[in-house]
Copies of this chain bind each other. A is one copy, B any other.
């Protein structure tokens, strides 16, 4: 019962941002760790034939309001970014490279990327923006830029995405807690109860 919680996310998903600010504390309350795993949500959408939420008639208008309100509900800073959606593979590759060097730094980087996009409205699809973030965290930005261009790290991201889809992931955030899948930041209360009771 001490397995880490899997947390799959895409940096371009607003509900993933919300979950990213809450999941570690929730897990710690139950003496659990969290394995953060950025994936390419677009690939999952292809697998399920889903379309981007904000492009669906009626639902799209509602969703933008709900992103904002859900952040306020949790007391989190939030601002819908001027570019949405955007490509997140550079950031996700960077995460996996960093994770191989220093887990804690990778977590810091992930938080910084989420906040740069969902609070400060930075264009995190752009390499210079990522390098600036990396610099601020005291990470070697030249090594970072070189690493995320390698075939190994590109493959790693593809493999992580495929593996997540193979485990049922179709949207983000997506969690696996002791074999039980939970989708959405709004399932955190169920995860809390699941961890407290060992399943219900």
A interface residues (Cβ-Cβ under 8 A, vs B): 44, 47-50, 56-59, 61-62, 65-66, 69-70, 72-73, 165, 168-171, 180-181, 183-184, 186-187, 189-190, 193, 200
Contacts and interface: CB of A to CB of B under 8 A. Distances in A.
Contacts of A181: 62, 65
B56 A169 contact: no
Nearest to A200: B72
Per DSSP, are chain A's interface residues mostly helix, strand or loop, or mixed?
helix
A200 B58 contact: no
Contact of A61 (B50, B56, B59, B168): B168
Given A48-B57, A186-B187, 4 more contacts: A47-B57, A57-B170, A59-B171, A186-B186
Contacts of A168: 58, 61-62
A69 B73 CA distance: 23
24 contacts: A44-B58, A47-B58, A48-B56, A48-B57, A48-B58, A48-B59, A49-B57, A50-B59, A56-B170, A58-B165, A58-B168, A58-B169, A58-B170, A61-B168, A62-B170, A62-B183, A66-B187, A69-B180, A69-B190, A70-B190, A72-B200, A73-B189, A73-B190, A186-B186
